[in-house]
């Protein structure tokens, strides 16, 4: 397997940075609805960013036109789960991690309720 690196880019402060693909990590491919914000969960866990990109494209190509029209899309994110993890188990573990992060987030400010009446006093 060959590894490629992108051309170096000059940062604002003058240092050269080299971008590279992270082929050592694992990625979860997730199906979600962009219209309803509903998640259908993890559909696969694969090793390497390139494999995640290829697998995502395969899922997109096999997706039915009505599903796509209804707003179902795939995306991938880095995960600590090993490649090949059962999708149902990966979904459960991902959800638990999201809930854990949300519980640690600072509370959102509460805004006063707005009156829906337009009556003048």
Task: Examine residue 11 and state whether it is found in any structural domain, yes or no.
Answer: no
The number of folded domains in the chain is 1
Q: How far apart are CA 46 and CA 29, in angstroms?
A: 8
Task: Examine residue 115 and state whether it is found in any structural domain, yes or no.
Answer: no
Task: Examine residue 105 and state whether it is found in any structural domain, yes or no.
Answer: no
What tens digit of pLDDT does each residue of 67-100 get? Answer: 999 999 999 999 999 999 999 999 999 999 999 9
What is residue 94's predicted lDDT score, i.e. its pLDDT?
A: 96
Q: How far apart are CA 17 and CA 28, in angstroms?
A: 27
What is residue 109's predicted lDDT score, i.e. its pLDDT?
A: 79
Task: Examine residue 103 and state whether it is found in any structural domain, yes or no.
Answer: no
Task: Examine residue 118 and state whether it is found in any structural domain, yes or no.
Answer: no
CB 3 within 8 A of CB 21: yes
Task: Examine residue 46 and state whether it is found in any structural domain, yes or no.
Answer: yes
Sign of CA dihedral 41, 45, 49, 52: negative
Mean pLDDT of 3-28: 53
How many Cα atoms within 13 Å fall on the side-chain side of residue 93? 13
Task: Examine residue 15 and state whether it is found in any structural domain, yes or no.
Answer: no
Domain that holds residue 71: 23-92
Higher pLDDT, 102 or 71: 71
26: Cβ–Cβ under 8 A, 6 or more apart, which residues? 45, 46, 47, 48, 78, 79, 80, 81, 82, 83
CB 60 within 8 A of CB 104: no
Percent of the chain whose pLDDT exceeds 90: 62
Task: Examine residue 70 and state whether it is found in any structural domain, yes or no.
Answer: yes
What is residue 24's predicted lDDT score, i.e. its pLDDT?
A: 78
What is residue 106's predicted lDDT score, i.e. its pLDDT?
A: 84
CB 32 within 8 A of CB 70: no
First to last CA, the chain: 75
Mean pLDDT of 1-28: 52
């Amino acid at each position: 397997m060959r590894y490629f690196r992108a051309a170096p880019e000059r940062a604002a402060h003058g240092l050269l940075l080299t971008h590279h693909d992270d082929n050592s990590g694992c990625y979860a491919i997730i199906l979600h609805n962009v219209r309803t914000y509903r998640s259908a969960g993890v559909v696969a866990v694969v090793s390497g960013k390139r494999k995640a990109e290829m697998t995502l494209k395969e899922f997109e190509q096999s997706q039915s036109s009505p599903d796509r029209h209804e707003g179902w899309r795939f995306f991938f994110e880095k995960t600590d789960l090993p490649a090949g993890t059962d999708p149902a188990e990966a979904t459960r573990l991902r959800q638990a991690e999201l809930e854990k992060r949300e519980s640690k987030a600072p509370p959102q400010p509460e805004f006063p309720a707005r009156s829906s009446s337009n009556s003048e006093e």
